[in-house]
Amino acid sequence: MIEIKGLVKKYGSTVAVDNISFSVERGELFGLLGPNGAGKTTTISVLSTLLPATEGAAVVAGCDVAKDADGVRRRIGVVPQEIALYEDLGARDNLNFWGRLYGLSGKDLQRRTEEMLEAVELGEHARQKVSSFSGGMKRRLNLAAGLMHGPEVLFLDEPTVGIDAQARGKILALIRRLNEDGLTVLYTTHYLEEAEQLCDRIGVIDRGKMVALGDKDDLIRQIGDEDTISFLLPPERLDELLTLSTKWDLVGDVEHRRGCARLRVRDTARVLPEIQMWLAGQQLPLDHLEVHRPNLETLYLNLTGRALRE
């Protein structure tokens, strides 16, 4: 459904997207992850024909983005990071406006508008001005506007920025339903928990380069199956811990930073009770004992050496 080969986008001497290649299958929900400024929005802008590529090629829904821009635009929906709504109009009037731009009219426009209002749970607020909406309501209406014409491919660029957890949950649930109904989605985000919930396959982009690409679980397994156990430990007890830890199945050295010990272990089920018994016997606190399993953030830190939100 989406095929990108050697895509490059430069702004003068600045390379925003640096020779990336990936594909998205029909009906897939693909996550493009990376920190702010990594090149995610630029990639979507090229794929949606808003920006020309400097080098490389891209095909969306069977249409070449450089040679058949009109064909691409007819087949895609775009939900930008910035809210693309008229604040002085009501929810229904905003959707009617976008529907007309997509070529809808008459009963088809009316039917689709009401369908979208109900889909994003804004039917009761159809006449209310957008200026009075909460951030979450605006985000949901913004999503509905991008769906008015029933696109084959939906580009979502950070669709949950700046909203609370409840509103985010509603949007993620709606995106999941749309995908289950067969819509192909390319989803950009710097919220790792969203990608964990939604996406089976991801690409991680950093400084314009694709640094990881593939099945989410396979990528996480590449960094190993070891867990990290952390707990509070006074510095003067570190030598005692080091002596004791020699009998545990550790991976690497024991780390101690800011009063916290960190141990990478292969067999958490066996080692964890021993650590708990030792801490309890030494009257050391147990309330900060944590087990961290490898996840997307672990993957990203291993690949780039910096946190995703930096």
- Which residues in the chain come in under a pLDDT of 50? 308, 310
Q: Looking at the structure, do residues 154 and 250 belong to the same domain, yes or no?
A: no
- pLDDT for position 102: 92
If asked whether residues 185 and 244 sit together in one domain, one would say: no
CA distance 126 to 308: 38
| pLDDT tens-digit map of 106-157 | 999 999 999 999 999 999 999 999 999 999 999 999 999 999 999 999 999 9
The dihedral formed by the CA atoms of 87, 90, 96 and 102, expressed in degrees to the nearest 10 = 20
Please report whether residue 217 resides in a domain. yes
Give the pLDDT confidence score for residue 304 in this predicted structure: 63
For the chain, the domain total comes to: 2
CATH number at residue 262: 3.30.70
State whether 28 and 100 are in the same domain.
yes
- Whether 171 and 28 map to the same domain: the answer is yes
Q: Are residues 233 and 212 both part of a single domain? A: no
Q: Are residues 176 and 287 in the same domain?
A: no
Q: Does 233 share its domain with 262?
A: yes
Q: Supply the pLDDT for residue 248.
A: 82
Residue 223 has a pLDDT of: 61
- Domain boundaries, position 216: 2-221
Residues 44 and 165 in one domain: yes
CATH number at residue 183: 3.40.50.300
Residue 152 and residue 269 share a domain: no
| Residue 112 belongs to a domain | yes
Residue with structure tokens 């590449």?
A: 222
Asked if 138 and 243 sit in the same domain, the reply is no
∠ CA(272), CA(234), CA(253), 5° rounding? 55
pLDDT recorded at residue 296: 73
Assess whether 172 and 62 both reside in one domain. yes
- Residue 215 sits in the same domain as residue 234: no
